[in-house]
Structure 1
Amino acid sequence: MDVREIRKQFPILDQEVNGHPLVYLDSAATSQKPIKVIEALDQYYRQYNSNVHRGVHTLGTRATDGYEGAREKVRQFIHAKSTEEIIFTRGTTTAINTVAASFGRANVAEGDEIVITHMEHHSNIIPWQQLAKEKGATLKYVPLQEDGTISLEDVKATVTSNTKIVAIMMVSNVLGTMNPIKEITKVAHENGAVMVVDGAQAAPHMKVDVQDLDCDFFAFSGHKMGGPTGIGVLYGKKQLLEVMEPIEFGGEMIDFVGLYESTWKELPWKFEGGTPIIAGAIGLGAAIDFLEDIGLDNIEAYEHKLAAYALDKLSEIDGMKIFGPKDPSKRAGLVTFNIDDVHPHDVATVLDSEGIAVRAGHHCAQPLMKWLKVSATARASFYLYNTEEDIDKLAAGLVKTKEYFSDVF
């Protein structure tokens, strides 16, 4: 990877913030967009903006080809069997809610179990909380190890023959933990449960093969992988999607509408009611092209290198507490931390004055914050356009932050 050349493809990085060159370390929240994606969106709106599927005119045909062509790119990207298994959504949150509202309501009953972990993002907690309340099911949590990982022994002890759904993130957005999804899926299936994977922090950074994982559902978002906001993907095994009912009703998803009865289109369109996210899908397709030109294996290896470098640099700072696995080979490209006696929001504010963008707060993971015994943390997350120089500036900014608050108090 020639990171210097890659950075040139991201025009937003070529600016100053508060008088300093921008150091963007918040890609776990949303990534920046390469020129290829920006141009794909611009081209759609300038040259062939039209609705899809319904029209036979030239612009409609071009828009439909772009939209469905993006679906095929997604299929190849995650190695699904068929485009019928690729549902476009607004993002990971919508995708998980679709599974909970459709599959969950039809298959979870009183006394059944839903298994998740303490590290989940709120979007992979709240839908299952609501489903469990509605159905009288039990929501169970796989315990975490001291370093923020989960053991297969604990998974096996938590998942039982009463478990109907296991829903776990592939990569933690706070700890960076990379969970053994393939092995967890096997445990779920051995107990008759389906496996739902939150892939929001995985798909942008590493190769994903849903057939190899054997998961039943896999969700991810475009905006974390160089694509536009407002577009995401729900992958589901065809045999499951075929018997699931849609949760949005209206145009696009219907086959026949009568006065009192209606029927639905075949997969995948029965889950895509209304005018779909056409430009978003086309932009996501361009993002996939961009990432695959570089190579997901290259991106993953590079980010592991950045994570290792960051762990070393930040560990040298007195009063620094780093959360998550200490072994960089077991974590993705992010580092979450706190400085003694300095609130994470103050840390982020001082860093911003230096042109360094990090995240501060509970990261939509309040149960995990409680487990960590903190109210909030700061997080620096890396992507293919970051460099060791960015991490050096982060470390220098953190030293400055620590010194500033030491002088104040």
Structure 2
Amino acid sequence: MNLLHLNDRPGAYPPSLYADQCGPQPDLPPLRGEARADVAVIGAGYTGLSAALHLARRGLSVTVLEAQRVGFGASGRNGGQIGSGQRQEVDWLEAKLGRDMARRLWDLAEEAKAAVRAIAAEAGVPVRDGIAHACRTAAEVDHARHIADHLARHYNYDLVTALDRDGMTAALGSAAYVGGDLDRGAGHVQPLALTLGMARLARDAGAVIFERSQVTGLTHGAPSTIRTDQGVLRADHVILACNGYLGDLDRGVAARVMPINNYIVTTPPLDDHPEILPDRIAAADTKFVVNYWRLDDERRLVFGGGETVTYRFPRDIAAVVRPHLLSVYPQLQGVPLTHAWGGTLAITMNRMPCFARPAPNCLSASGYSGHGVAVATLAGRLMAEAVAGQAERFDAMAAVPTRPFPGGAALRKPLLVAGMAWFGLRDRLGF
């Protein structure tokens, strides 16, 4: 089963609002024949393009191999939220890794947000401020209030405001939640536009990007040899930036990183519903299979959610997501959905990203667990530093343990079926 081809037409973007807004993109040629580079980057999403950009600006020759199109994967399909911190809250990190390491990871995540904003500004892609975290239980609201206070006291971060039920209802235009918080330091962006902008900057810096160049073989060495259907690339360093589309390129990483699917729909502009997200913030809730949403610049609601227990996208994605949308905004009953698409992201056992060294001259980062817009962009920068001989910050991320899934890569599909069925049931029962 090859996720690069299971659900999508070769060389085509999904039928998303993002692809429509960005318009047709010029094809980049595939790799043909033999080529040589200082660094080979496999994957043209946030991780790979950020690595290519930072490496090229350091003066290294960089070649990016993309199996489909730039931004074809999760980087061009996601909810566009630029979240603060890591995927796990700071109290979890402190308990598992200690206060010093938790603070270091927080500081790296703050750098990640700043890196996304800087690249977006350079590429001319607007970023809006604010993400609300919507809680379903009183215990979750208490925890959100505790984290807001903890961040202000111990991390010098005072941009999170706790919200009671009325405050959350006003912020969202929905009475579906009992409270939560609003993080004014977080933000949201049109994700495919960001990816394409990052690619332009990388190419302007001298990086070479080949599309429709699926890697069929990787042999580590000095140099390493990377084979595609039509060409061979030899490079002194290799960066694996494939996330949910890694396949069999490295089984050690694949055992720790599980691809999962998620789905997004969009509405027409909601000019008749000014109560929905009146301040144009984004939002996400506390379900295991998270609902997440935002308004775009035309006031279209971009809403993600819904789980399936197979890797094949459902035939009617809108029918999967609509009940989740209506659970938050029942007033949108009868409003048509203009776009519906699926995408493949990747999670780890503990929801922390998997940074690894599959070989002495090979680096990998993946498994962002829905927190990838910021962290994946940072990962590319850290891998560029490591290739240049400054590996301390990459190694700090790699020191965060990510255990293999039981049974490793071989049992990921049955685990997906069992896990999504179980946690989907828990979400529906309100746990």
**TM-score in terms of structure 2 length:** 0.24
Flag the structure with higher strand content. 2
Structure in which a larger fraction of residues adopt helix: 1
So what's the TM-score if we normalise by structure 1?
0.25
